[in-house]
Structure 1
């Protein structure tokens, strides 16, 4: 590469990338990394980046430009320690109607209510989409707090993953060799499955907007 690629060089590159992200709120391009590192060839900078990705210091979401992210290992290399967030992670959307895919990507954190005693690392929040649970007060747009667990008793409100890998919030019943997911909306029919995966038990909710 023309220069030794040791821990000092790794730290130098990662530090400059981190400084760029902090200044502009988005990652640099390969050309900009080349300029920052005073290397003539963009291919050399690309090689550096690929080495850092392979070594676990960087990650790239896809093939597009400006999708580099510094991993926790990379942040440790540059001496950046993230403060531990003491909130409940908000991780996407779940259906209260027809099942939809719920993708777990953290969108933010929510302060832990005083009346919840479960360990924080066993909790997550989902935004509700749909109106199948409105008759027990779970409305479209509400955010439900879920205790992560793989079992449930009959009659409990759960977030369940169906055999089609779709997540939904319903009242759970196991009966007669099948699973019945019951919507709390008298205009909707029960859903029947041979098996579902319980993702967690709904223990509370937050309503961002009252009116």
Structure 2
């Protein structure tokens, strides 16, 4: 740890992390069982040292900087870049760490994950067993991938949505799965896909 990060300040950073959006100075003081004035002094110092973001308002939650997250070893190490064309040197030391998977995917309040079952969307890299990040929405733009409630069934599907007059066409990204068409008034959009989390299996040659 850097010398300016005393055990007390390191503990405070960990408390702020654990409290998330509830990490106000008052709440941190309660959890740390010290006075609010003492916490305020540490917060000022941690901001000056670059471990806490500048305040967005008097009652705004305390927010760790990327530097603080890296010191606390939060997130996944990022080891530079990898070439998909001409080979480049693979770095051995991480340049940084991701703040969190939420930050990496740009998660907002209300977003949720769904586990994919089936192979109808493999053409865009969504494989069976992957997780897709969905943002709630009742409408989507033409061509966006959405979670759609199938008319007459209590099931939802992940499909690309096209609008054609008063008809909605649901398109798979796998030629083995035919497109589906329904009257627009019968289709319920539950959200749009904004990200994917999954492991791409490696394949050796037979």
Smaller-chain TM-score bracket: 0.3 to 0.5
Q: What TM-score does the superposition give when structure 1 sets the normalisation length?
A: 0.44
More strand by share: 1
